[in-house]
Structure 1
Amino acid sequence: MRSHATPRVAVVTGGTSGIGLATARHLLERGCRVAVFGQRPVNVENAAGVLSREFGAERVFARVVDLAVTAQITAFFQELDQCWGKAEILVCNAGISPKGPDGSGPFQEITLEEWNTVLSVNLTGTMLCCQSALPGMVEAHFGRIVFVGSIAGRAMPRIAGAAYVASKAALSGLARSLVARHAAQGITVNVVAPGRIATDMAGPRDSGVNRAAVARIPAGRMGEPKEVAAAIGFLTSDEAAFINGATIDVNGGEYTPL
């Protein structure tokens, strides 16, 4: 990490709650200036207030962005460039996972609208963010990109629906493509794959789904957002320059590809 006189500019998509908010806080603690966006105005306002009070408003940039709307992504990065300069760190965390309290519905009931919406946010939105951030990284000969995948894209899915699983599994292919093209330019692209983490998306800790998850996790508990954020934070650091094209599983031992 550079000196505080020239802090790196980091972008965290879906950075207004859960893993994204924990990651934004972690990067701010490391000295970065952090730009976050989310789809819900109330979450963006709350996150901006919390982070600004903790770290100073001059180090926080928060906007409402719908990843399914290309123009909003483009406008976000253009405004960020005018305000702070090019993003040097990009954490693609935003994602949606339609399902009921007991998990996803039958595969045959997935509508084309649901399928396209999930992929447009989880996969296409990630691609568009990379397209916006990469030119500045190439010019600087430095970049750190981290995709937040999922255990559902790595192992047999138990809760998530097919659209979510497909979108998260596809992030690995996108990462490999970017590594092949940009590794020689000082840019790393890695994936962090969380297991069951205690976030709003996961629902109440004492739900039947979460109790079943805890029963099969060797660590005997759900993960915390800050534990995922710590893995993401390391991959964005200068010290992780030789880690490229890797997937880091953060799941308490539920899935162990050793």
Structure 2
Amino acid sequence: MKPHLNAAGRSYVALITGAAGQIGYAIATRLAEDGYRVVLVDRADAVHRCATQLKTAGHQAMGVEIDIADPQAVAGLPVQLGQWWDDLAVLINNAGISPKTQGAKRKVIDMPLDEWQQVLAVNLTGMFLVTRTCLPAIQRQGWGRIVMIASQAARTRTHVPGAHYQATKAGMVAFARVLAAEVAPYGVTVNSVAPGRIRTDMTAAVSDTVNGDLASATPAGRMGLPREVAAGVAYLVSPDAAYSTGSILDINGGSFMP
């Protein structure tokens, strides 16, 4: 699938946060394969290796190592991207953390304030900072796509994530609905993806028994794969999804059916 091209005939730039993780890298790979120039953003230095792998495969990619919870670092994104900033049209807000203690969530009564604030800083405030910084560039294109990687935890009570994680993911979905109405006049859509249990390092933080039980309870009988999340994102980013905005795409193997 060829990406929407700008007036100069150049492929648009897609920026993906949390791109050193399995889901973020799968999304970056899929969008690169679809023809976008991709900017991989992560606080882990592995983001440079991920970008190099894409470039080695023949794609146009750039790695940017920043902490999205740092306002000054996020404000520097236009400088980091250089000329690519002028063609930014796609933003994938994927970065997120979900702390565990001995493989389990903390109950609210046991949750320290600093852990609560850390999760909000990355999952919600970081998303806001990146979105606010990118919006002027995206709106100037007259066409754009913003996708929030939320979670099934934003849709219903789940057993593994803590209250801070669930609160931030629900907040992302609510934020997306408001933003969708604000940017629609600029030809920009804003949608959310709500993955269920996906096989990643984050889900590996709990025991195999827990993951096995959750997979068995899913109608599909298994955990999802990062590339399956990336496929959903690719649709929402495509020109074919022009009439979808403010929506939520569930990718969960049937574990939640609203």
TM-score, length-normalised on structure 2? 0.94
Residue 68 of structure 1 contacts residue 125 of structure 1 at CA under 8 Å; is this kept in 2?
yes
Residue 67 of structure 2 contacts residue 74 of structure 2 at CA under 8 Å; is this kept in 1?
yes
Whole-angstrom distance in 1 between the partners of 2:142 and 2:134: 12
Whole-angstrom distance in 1 between the partners of 2:69 and 2:188: 26
Aligned residue for 2:86, secondary structure, equals coil
Partner of 1:13: 17
* Matching residue's letter, 2:244: I
State the Cα deviation string for residues 40-88 of structure 1 (Å, max 9, x = none): 11x21321221121124xx111011111111111112332143452410
Partner of 1:176: 177
Partner of 2:204: 203
Aligned residue for 1:55, secondary structure, equals coil
Runs of 4+, deviation exceeding 6 Å:
none
**Larger displacement relative to structure 2 (73-82 or 118-127):** 73-82
Aligned residue for 2:11, secondary structure, equals coil
**Larger displacement relative to structure 2 (245-254 or 195-204):** 195-204
Q: CA deviation at 1:252?
A: 0.2
Partner of 1:32: 36
For these two proteins, the number of residue pairs brought into alignment is 254
1:94 to 1:251, Cα distance in 2 relative to 1, 3 A = same
Whole-angstrom distance in 2 between the partners of 1:184 and 1:149: 24
Whole-angstrom distance in 2 between the partners of 1:88 and 1:181: 16
Answer yes or no: is 1:52 the counterpart of 2:49: no
* Matching residue's letter, 2:4: R
Whole-angstrom distance in 2 between the partners of 1:137 and 1:46: 27
Aligned residue for 2:76, secondary structure, equals helix
Answer yes or no: is 1:243 the counterpart of 2:244: yes
Partner of 2:98: 97
**Unmatched 5+ residue regions in structure 2?**
none
1:105 to 1:218, Cα distance in 2 relative to 1, 3 A = same
Partner of 1:2: 4
1:52 to 1:101, Cα distance in 2 relative to 1, 3 A = farther
**Unmatched 5+ residue regions in structure 1?**
none
Any residues of structure 2 matched to 1:187-226 within 5 Å, and which? 187-203=188-204, 207-226=208-227
Q: CA deviation at 1:255?
A: 0.3
* Matching residue's letter, 1:225: P
State the Cα deviation string for residues 7-66 of structure 1 (Å, max 9, x = none): 11000001112110000000000000000111111x21321221121124xx11101111
Partner of 1:118: 119
Partner of 1:138: 139
TM-score, length-normalised on structure 1? 0.94
1:244 to 1:81, Cα distance in 2 relative to 1, 3 A = farther
Residue 145 of structure 1 contacts residue 189 of structure 1 at CA under 8 Å; is this kept in 2?
yes
Q: CA deviation at 1:3?
A: 5.5
Residue 19 of structure 1 contacts residue 226 of structure 1 at CA under 8 Å; is this kept in 2?
yes
